[in-house]
Amino acid sequence: MLSLQHISKYYQVSGLKNFVLNDLSLEIDQGEFVSIMGPSGSGKSSLLNIIGMLDEPSEGYHYFAGHAVHQLKEKQRSALYKQYIGFVFQAYHLIDELTVYENIETPLIYQDFKGAERKAMVADILDRFNIVGKKDLFPAQLSGGQQQLVGIARALIAKPKLLLADEPTGNLNSKQGEEIMELFRKLNKEDGVTIIQVTHSEKNAEYGSRIINLLDGKIESSKQL
Amino acid sequence: MIKNYIKIAWRNLKRNKAYAFISVAGLALGITCGILIFTLITYHLSFDNFHKNSDRVYRLYTEWHDDGIGRSHGVPQPLGKTFRNDFTLAEKTARVISFHDNLITITQGNQVKKFKEDNGVAFTEPEYFDILNFPLLKGDKKTVLVKPGEAIVTEKIARKYFGDDNPIGKVIRVDNKVNFTVTGVLKDLPANTDRKQQVYVSYGNMDEYTGSKKREDNWGGVFSGSEVFTLLKPSTTMESANSAMALIVKKHYTGRDLQVWKFKLQPLSDIHFNSDLDGYADKKYLWALFFIGLFLIITACVNFVNLATAQALNRAKEIGVRKVLGSLPHQLFWQFIAETALITFVAVILAIGLSFIALPAINNLFESQMTFKLFQLSVFIMLISVLVVFLSGSYPGLVLARFQPILALKSKLSQKHVGGFSLRRILVVTQFSISQVLIIGAIIIVSQLHYSQTTDLGFNKDAVVLLPIPQQDKAKLSTLRNRINEVQGVEKSSYCYKAPAAQSNNSTDVNFNHRGEDEHWGINTKQGDENFLSTFGMKLVAGRNFFPADTTHEFLVNETFVKKLNLKPQDVIGKMLAIDGKTIKAPIVGVVKDFYNYSFHTEISAICIMPDYRSYSTLAVKINMRNAKTSLAAFEKIWNETFPEELYSYQFLDDSVGKFYEMDNIQLKLVEAFAGIAILIGCLGLYGLVSFMAVRKTKEIGVRKVLGADTMHILWLFGKEFTYLLLIAFVVAAPLAWWAMHNYLQDFKYRITIGPGIFLTSILSTFIIASITVGYRSVMAATANPVKSLRSE
């Protein structure tokens, strides 16, 4: 599904290259559930951002669903991204001014779904996530776990093939974390969504099918579970 | 999508009430000024534009080319007749001679009603109503005013005089001299015309009214109320008409007058604006107003941009999330435009309300009857809304749309991503430059008016009551004066034509000391009796006052007269002075110290003062103000007993002198109001900016306090910034204001100099206002507990 070849990301500080990712290559197939681990500053988030096209690598080749991402124009990349990728954040990043319903609906608006269609899709996902009763509440009125649930629902609403999660349980207690992980496993197994998550927790990492350990911008180890 | 934009815009505004309030208030104030100024300007541009063929309608006027060029919108009385009879250039030509403050008497049975008509009575040839579009409601247009003894009045006047009775056939008496029968009723005059007369009477009665036939053939003098309007044929150009005028001069003047006299045509559309003649609204001032309006709107937009970009950081997260969810930059841009549009919409609604409230006050100020023209105004409001939305929405929109989502989500956006602080500095400097220009303008106008009100005018204007004298009957005059002088509190009194400074003036030719040629300048004649000098507190610099007399046997002149002759005051004493085509000749016996006989706008004229009871139209009474009430009551009683047929009125001299500065006072009030609004909008912006700074600097302030900074140090963080900005604004504003006000003062012949004090006052007052605005938020920020602000990081 996606392939990174010789990817580097660095910042130039007074002539010296400061590498965040250093000549990293990685292949991920459709249907995988990959956990990326590593100490702080090892480049986990940068890697995720590059996969998610939120950031561009300094060097290297990036292929996604048969497209050479490094050659695409901003607009095409945005179209590709909208079609395939959903993002979940550690800090949920819900829009405070919108209700649960509207938060979930927003990606559909940007993808030009018609009103009636949007309504049906949002209703469907609210139902699936069991948050119908909360649809008119604002993010501030929800607990962390509930907010993350909304965040995931929002990421999934447009039926992405790839779900990227940056420490999705980082701000949650262990029980809430477990629920989210169960949900991920289910999505992966039943709906065939490819998932890449960044995590600090060994336990959460083991929900996945592969664990990649990063150190200083390079893949230190990779093991199939 | 739009619905979504509007919805989130609305919730955003609800969440940030202070921000919304400041933005809306600033825009509303700016737009209100825009609407009012637009209404004012279109009102003036609409003057007399409703006449048919108005592009072919002209007024004749007089120019004198002697020492300098003099102009009058009046013409010699025979000019209109000659132009009509000797040339075929015009379709219609009409003479109209108007007087002011006429007394109209109506007798119904035993009841006598008296009315004073400020706008007076016009002796009018019937063609006048073919040239100008003032339709008749009653009466036959073909016959009205053709025969002598007819009058037509407006509906308003008809109602005032006769109530609900049919006015046709009723008799009105003008100034107790001539009777007229009403034969027509005019539709009420529209507000946008300079033709203010509401009572028109037959031209044929002019001689009867003035009591002499001389005027009809007098080419030598001009009465400013004697006007001629003409409707040129479509084939006639203004040039060919002007050359016809040259032929008229050739035929009717001789000698030096051939070079001096000129008659010209003035287009109808020029009349309202030409201040060389009797134009009311100089286009220069309309332009100034236009720019003030534009500046105020710009200030309001600047304010908005300022606040919006400051606010942008707070919204970074939302923008980042939206981008991650797939929003394209242009979608974010439009979202922001929608938000601006919503704010603008609310501001426009408010502004319309405010304008409706403010319009009566403005009408009151200008004594005008402006109304909102719905169509014009709605087009203007639409245009201005779109302009405001894009002017103020596009910059913040672009900034927001260009945010890097990753940085935004990590709250790593800094000021340089939102246009930086320097942009907002420039905006605040712009705002404060504009308000400083207006403040300096207001201070200079105030100083000039103060100067003209407190400078020694050369005569005493306090505690002098002016009573009108309607009849020049020697016996009555002498009894009246004796009785007035006996009233308690009366110190002195004098009969005169008008006070030393008056709106109404007579000028005539000068022949000094039997010289072969008349002087190339005119002399202002002031008729007054032997008490004129003492009543008005004027001083002699040479010679003596004239002896009591009823007619002119001796002259007094002023210093300017002497200066124009290049002589010393002593040298003119005893010399002969001849005026009015040498019909009045007498020796000069004294020279009075110069006094301001007009406003400070006009140079002091050469003046002669002499007794002539036939010209007396005023009794000036110097009173003791402590008894003013009883004195005034006594005057009224005595006056009414002396002139039972007339209508009593009185005026204080200082009020009448104050009338000279009516326009200046209006300008002052306008500039004050606009300066006030500009400051207010500027302060709103400043407050928004300092709030933003306080939030941004929370951590810095916390750290500084932990390191031992005291409150004053922290306050200086803010103070330094704004001091700096205000100083730059001042440097920008001062030369601009100096230039504008230097031009303004050119309209005054006697004026203040623009000194450093004025600029100092301006910057000081701005400083104080800004400090108060910035103060509260700064103190709040400076006194906050550092532990709290650091922990939250």
Does A77 reach chain B within 8 Å, measured CB to CB?
no
Computed over every residue of chain B, the mean pLDDT equals 87
| Coil, helix or strand at residue B194 | coil
Each residue's pLDDT tens digit, A37-62:
999 888 888 899 899 887 889 999 99
Mean pLDDT for the stretch of residues B86-92: 91
Encoded amino acid at A183, one letter: L
pLDDT at B416: 54
Encoded amino acid at B332, one letter: L
Phi, psi of B755 (to 5 degrees): -100, 175
Each residue's pLDDT tens digit, B550-598:
999 999 999 999 999 999 999 999 999 998 888 889 999 999 999 998 8
Is residue A20 in a domain? yes
Q: Nearest chain A residue to B317 by CA: give it.
A: A93
Q: Tell me the two tokens of residue B452.
A: 């003209």
Neighbouring CB atoms inside 10 A of B622's CB total 21
Q: At what angle do helices B2-15 and B17-45 cross, to 10 degrees?
A: 110
β-bridge pairing B555-558 and B584-592: parallel
Rg (CA), chain B: 34
Name the more confident of B589 and B325. Answer: B589
| B733 within 8 A of B443, measured Cβ to Cβ | no
Residue B571, Ramachandran bin (φ over 0: left; ψ between -120 and 50: alpha; else beta): alpha
Each residue's pLDDT tens digit, B192-232:
899 989 999 999 999 898 887 778 888 887 888 899 999 99
SS3 readout for B100-142: CCEEEEEEECCEEEEEEECCCEEEECCCHHHHCCCCEEECCCC
Query: In Å, how far from its chain's centre is CA B312?
Result: 44
Q: How far apart are CA A166 and CA B70, in angstroms?
A: 87
pLDDT at residue B330 tops 70: yes
Contact B4 A102 (CB under 8 A): yes
The residue ranges of DSSP E strands in B144-207, in sequence order, are 150-154, 171-174, 178-186, 199-202
Name the more confident of B744 and B609. Answer: B609
CA–CA min distance B16, chain A (Å): 11
Output DSSP code: residue B536: T
Question: If we measure between CA atoms, which residue out of A125, A123, A170 comes closest to residue A145?
Answer: A170
Is residue A142 in a domain? no
Q: Residue B41 burial by CB count (10 A; 0-12/13-18/19+): exposed, middle or buried?
A: middle
Contact A110 B8 (CB under 8 A): no
Contact A89 B409 (CB under 8 A): yes
pLDDT at residue B407 tops 80: no
Q: How far apart are CA A46 and CA B711, in angstroms?
A: 43
Query: In Å, how far from its chain's centre is CA B525?
Result: 29
Contact A106 B322 (CB under 8 A): yes
Q: Which of A200-209, B350-359, B445-454, B550-559 has the lowest mean pLDDT?
A: B445-454
Each residue's pLDDT tens digit, B506-547:
888 889 999 888 888 889 999 999 999 999 999 999 999 999
pLDDT at B392: 81
Is residue A140 in a domain? no
CA–CA min distance B6, chain A (Å): 12
Is residue A80 in a domain? yes
Q: How far apart are CA A159 and CA A128, in angstroms?
A: 13
Residue B248 C-beta-side C-alpha neighbours within 13 Å: 25
Q: Looking at beta carbons, which residues of chain A come within 8 Å of B325? A: 87, 106-107, 110, 154
| A28 within 8 A of A2, measured Cβ to Cβ | yes
SS3 readout for chain A: CEEEEEEEEEEEECCEEEEEEEEEEEEECCCCEEEEECCCCCCHHHHHHHHCCCCCCCEEEEEECCEEHHHCCHHHHHHHHHHHEEEECCCCCCCCCCCHHHHHHHHHHHCCCCHHHHHHHHHHHHHHCCCHHHCCCCHHHCCHHHHHHHHHHHHHCCCCCEEEEECCCCCCCHHHHHHHHHHHHHHHHHCCCEEEEECCCHHHHCCCCEEEEEECCEEEEEEEC
Q: Which of B454-468, B608-622, B710-724 has the lowest mean pLDDT?
A: B710-724
Each residue's pLDDT tens digit, B341-390:
888 999 999 999 999 999 998 888 888 888 888 888 999 999 999 988 88
Residue keyed to tokens 């236009």: B290
Q: How far apart are CA B410 and CA B405, in angstroms?
A: 9
Q: How far apart are CA A156 and CA A76, in angstroms?
A: 21
| B44 within 8 A of B182, measured Cβ to Cβ | no
Q: Which of A75-89, A200-214, B584-598, B602-616 has the lowest mean pLDDT?
A: A75-89
Q: Taking the domains of chain B in order of start, what are their residue ranges?
A: 1-47+280-418, 58-274, 420-456+660-793, 464-659
Is residue A148 in a domain? no
Question: If we measure between CA atoms, which residue out of B492, B458, B501, B506 comes closest to residue B612?
Answer: B506
Give the Cα-Cα-Cα angle A162, A166, A172 (nearest 5 degrees): 120
Each residue's pLDDT tens digit, B249-268:
999 998 888 888 999 999 99
Residue B566, Ramachandran bin (φ over 0: left; ψ between -120 and 50: alpha; else beta): left
pLDDT at B7: 82
Q: Looking at beta carbons, which residues of chain A come within 8 Å of B317? A: 93
Computed over every residue of chain A, the mean pLDDT equals 89
Contact A93 B321 (CB under 8 A): yes
pLDDT at B693: 77
pLDDT at B793: 34
pLDDT at residue B419 tops 60: no
Q: Looking at beta carbons, which residues of chain A come within 8 Å of B410? A: none
pLDDT at residue B413 tops 50: yes
Handedness of CA B557, B560, B561, B566 (dihedral sign): positive
pLDDT at B432: 84
Q: Residue B166 burial by CB count (10 A; 0-12/13-18/19+): exposed, middle or buried?
A: exposed
CA–CA min distance A98, chain B (Å): 7
| B116 within 8 A of B647, measured Cβ to Cβ | yes
CA dihedral of residues B646, B647, B652, B656 (deg, nearest 10):
-90
pLDDT at residue B454 tops 90: no
Is residue A183 in a domain? yes
Own/partner contacts of B748-757, CB < 8 Å, gap of 24 or more, are B748/B448, B748/B452, B748/B600, B748/B601, B749/B600, B749/B601, B749/B602, B749/B603, B750/B452, B750/B455, B750/B596, B750/B600, B751/B448, B751/B451, B751/B600, B752/B444, B752/B447, B752/B448, B752/B451, B754/B444
Q: Looking at beta carbons, which residues of chain B come within 8 Å of A91? A: 409
Indicate the pTM of the whole model: 0.79
Does A157 reach chain B within 8 Å, measured CB to CB?
no
Task: Categorize the per-residue pLDDT at B132 as very low, low, confident or very high, splitting at 50, 70 and 90.
Answer: very high
Is residue A136 in a domain? no
CATH number at residue A30: 3.40.50.300
Residue keyed to tokens 């010699």: B76
Each residue's pLDDT tens digit, B668-709:
888 888 888 888 888 887 787 787 777 777 767 776 766 666
Phi, psi of B450 (to 5 degrees): -60, -40
Contact A49 B406 (CB under 8 A): yes
| B2 within 8 A of B657, measured Cβ to Cβ | no
Most distant pair of Cα atoms in chain A: their distance: 56
Task: Categorize the per-residue pLDDT at A120 as very low, low, confident or very high, splitting at 50, 70 and 90.
Answer: very high
Q: Which of A75, A77, A84, A96 to mutate to test the interface with B (most CBs of B within 10 A)?
A: A96
Q: Nearest chain B residue to A113 by CA: give it.
A: B1
User: Each residue of B356-371: b (16+ CB within 10 Å) or e?
Assistant: eebbeebbeebeeebe
Of A82, A89, A95, the CB nearest to B326: A82
Contact B7 A78 (CB under 8 A): no
pLDDT at A214: 93
Q: How far apart are CA B419 and CA B425, in angstroms?
A: 11
Residue keyed to tokens 């990301």: A9
Q: What is the number of domains present in chain A?
A: 1
Question: If we measure between CA atoms, which residue out of B245, B289, B226, B238 comes closest to residue B266?
Answer: B238
Q: Which of B324, B328, B334 to mutate to test the interface with A (most CBs of A within 10 A)?
A: B324
Q: How far apart are CA B325 and CA A150, in angstroms?
A: 14
Contact A87 B324 (CB under 8 A): yes
Question: If we measure between CA atoms, which residue out of B620, B656, B644 comes closest to residue B471?
Answer: B644
Task: Report the residue count for chain A.
Answer: 225
Q: Looking at beta carbons, which residues of chain A come within 8 Å of B406? A: 49, 54-55
Give the Cα-Cα-Cα angle B731, B733, B738 (nearest 5 degrees): 105
Q: Looking at beta carbons, which residues of chain A come within 8 Å of B331? A: 110
Does A115 reach chain B within 8 Å, measured CB to CB?
no
Encoded amino acid at A211, one letter: I
Q: Which of A109, A119, A162 to mutate to test the interface with B (most CBs of B within 10 A)?
A: A109
Residue keyed to tokens 């029980």: A175
pLDDT at B185: 94
Handedness of CA B711, B714, B718, B720 (dihedral sign): positive
Number of inter-chain CB pairs under 8 A, A vs B: 50
Where in the sequence is the domain holding A70, given as residue range(s)? Answer: 2-97+160-224
Q: Does the ipTM surpass 0.85?
A: no
